[in-house]
Structure 1
Amino acid sequence: MINIITYILLAIVCFGYCHKSRPKRHFSSEEYRINTPSCDVVCEGQWKSEFHANFHKIYDTDYFEIPLDTAIVKNRASLKMFCSSTIQKYTCLRKECRILRTPWSAEKHICIGHFDNFDRNINCLSLTDRYVQKECSDVCNSIRIEISQAEISRMAEMEFSRQEKSEFIEQNKHCNFIACHQLCHEYIINKVCIDSAVSARSVVKSYYDSYLEREYTALNKDDQDELYSSFCRRVTPGQDENLYTANMTRYNNLTLDRMKNDIRSAFSILD
């Protein structure tokens, strides 16, 4: 009897001390939110991880949307591999995160909105890629970019802050760079893909047009519409190049003509 009573007492004491010495931590809901990535971040992270595994490139530093990256247009297998992973990302956002509406992105445009067009024209895009990556990049990285005196005067009249002036100039440079790559890629398509030139140019134009529309939408959303230069408006579908600064058409024509001449000079070997 004594042994049984002693055993019971020891068991009770042990249970009490063991329970206290090995506490189980319970995370509060606030701690869980802080330490757990949001659902969309997880989907994005998985996609970038697959990109690295498939192409041996780090997405954030080695992938470029302008011009179209070699990882996408190298061949049909690369395009399909990139788009398979991209579709999985958007499926993850929709099913796991319940995010039904997502903004425009380069990968969404290529893989969800226009995959069939890219797939049909992949041979041409692949043939032109080496010129786009080297010669077009050389030209577009060295083009002369200027702000018209009329727009300089307008910035003064509207009392732009130093930061606003800087953002205006940088956005204008970005638009020039994008427009240059579009013109250059279309020029190469005309020279290299004679039979499929019309279709391939349409694919490239649609991509760059949508990219520029995204640029404008981002500024307009933040009520910074006036930071979009006349040239940016000229090359962005649906925008008026003379909205804020009048009589800019001739100036923008000269800018585009200068780009085209630089491109032709770089590719004179193909003429």
Structure 2
Amino acid sequence: MFLPKLTIEGVLGFNFKKSQKILKISILVILLLLCFINYSQARYKRFIKEENLKLINNEEYLIQTCVAYCDAQFGREFEEHFGRSYFTQFFDFPIDSLIVSSINNFNSFCSLVEQRSCCLQQECLKSSVPASPQTHICLEHRADFERALACLNSTVPHFKFHSICSTAAKQSVDIKRLADETHGFDIHLTEQYRQQDLRCRFQACTLSARIMLINEHCNQNGFEEDQREHARRTVRRYYEDDLELDLIEYGETLNATRRFPRFCAAFLAQQKAEPIALLIDHKSSQIYLDELNILLKIIGADTAKMIVTGM
């Protein structure tokens, strides 16, 4: 039996042909994969609008999605801990009785606020946490609220005068004056102005009622005057800062002077005891005081009843 003579050239030739065959198969597989990927992408794009594709690659959209995730996580943990919805059953104004009912609840709430702040900074890469009623209480003025907590806890829970102030805010509106203030506005701006005006009236009402209750209940429970004054100052600053946030949302002062409700501007100036940001003339201040008196008259009897009975 004769065996073929093996040479270096023969071996190399055989390996080269085998390598060529493997290479061709590999290229064919890669081409097939590329075709499949391109087809899949084309098919996928047919079901996504062009503007949505732009959103996916938009940094602002990604940040908004991240913020929404942090908010949802905060809301879920709030509900798990307190047994009620943060978004539908918790009130920033008046200060919710849930967080002033005990130091444990207060600390638990602030712990959740701190976790949300960490989420925004670490996950969403935000250099600073946007100001809000929650950050005011837990991050900026926590020590003040801790000191005022016992006095605030002795006041009537917010829901006892929530509906009263909602009604009083609507009844105190001067329809003719509101029409004059919104003259020349389109439908959207008019509605925005009206809603903000009502919100400020509601806040003025709840702040006044809260101060009345602090004066009465904290006095009955043996708090010293300096403690009552600290509680009043803490609550007023809380409302004041929120009003300033509302004002900032209206943009530059020049535009805000026209678009920010006159009652709100006077309310803010009254809390700061100076006409900051907006030019509040004597007439505007008097209008505010007159309409605030209407609010106080409406809530007066009900608030007095709550103070006496503790209901």
Partner of 2:285: 249
Task: Give the distance between the partners of 1:66 and 1:105, measured in 2 at CA.
Answer: 12
Query: Are 1:65 and 2:96 an aligned pair?
Result: no
TM-score relative to the length of structure 1? 0.79
- Which residue, out of 129, 132, 137, partners 1:105? 132
SS at match of 1:146: coil
Task: Give the distance between the partners of 2:242 and 2:289, measured in 1 at CA.
Answer: 21
Once the two structures are TM-superposed, the CA of residue 129 in structure 1 deviates from its matched residue by: 4.1
Partner of 1:92: 119
SS at match of 2:250: helix
Partner of 1:227: 259
- Which residue, out of 96, 99, 106, partners 1:79? 106
1:125-172 CA-to-partner distances (Å, cap 9, x unmatched) read 222142x321x213201111323745533543xx22233222222211
Equivalent positions of 1:203-218 (< 5 A) are: 203-218=234-249
Percent of aligned pairs with the same amino acid:
22
AA aligned to 1:140 is: C
Taking a change above 3 Å as real, the CA distance of residues 103 and 239 of structure 1, as seen in their structure-2 partners, is: farther
SS at match of 1:81: helix
TM-score relative to the length of structure 2? 0.70
SS at match of 2:110: helix
Q: Is the 8 A contact 2:266 2:280 kept in 1?
A: no
Task: Give the distance between the partners of 1:199 and 1:224, measured in 2 at CA.
Answer: 32
Task: Give the distance between the partners of 1:73 and 1:84, measured in 2 at CA.
Answer: 14
Q: Number of aligned pairs?
A: 260
SS at match of 1:97: coil
AA aligned to 2:228 is: A
Taking a change above 3 Å as real, the CA distance of residues 145 and 191 of structure 1, as seen in their structure-2 partners, is: same
1:69-128 CA-to-partner distances (Å, cap 9, x unmatched) read 222112111110010111111122223322112321011001000111111121122221
Once the two structures are TM-superposed, the CA of residue 198 in structure 1 deviates from its matched residue by: 0.8
Task: Give the distance between the partners of 1:268 and 1:253, measured in 2 at CA.
Answer: 21
Structure 1, unmatched stretches of 5+, are: 1-12
Partner of 1:142: 167
Q: Is the 8 A contact 2:155 2:217 kept in 1?
A: yes
Query: Are 1:192 and 2:224 an aligned pair?
Result: no
Query: Are 1:202 and 2:233 an aligned pair?
Result: yes
Structure 2, unmatched stretches of 5+, are: 1-24, 45-52
Q: Which has the higher helix share?
A: 2
Larger Rg: 2
Task: Give the distance between the partners of 2:96 and 2:57, measured in 1 at CA.
Answer: 36
AA aligned to 2:296 is: K
Partner of 1:171: 196
Query: Are 1:38 and 2:65 an aligned pair?
Result: yes
SS at match of 1:89: helix
- Which residue, out of 257, 266, 269, partners 2:302? 266
Q: Is the 8 A contact 1:66 1:178 kept in 2?
A: yes
Q: Is the 8 A contact 1:242 1:248 kept in 2?
A: no
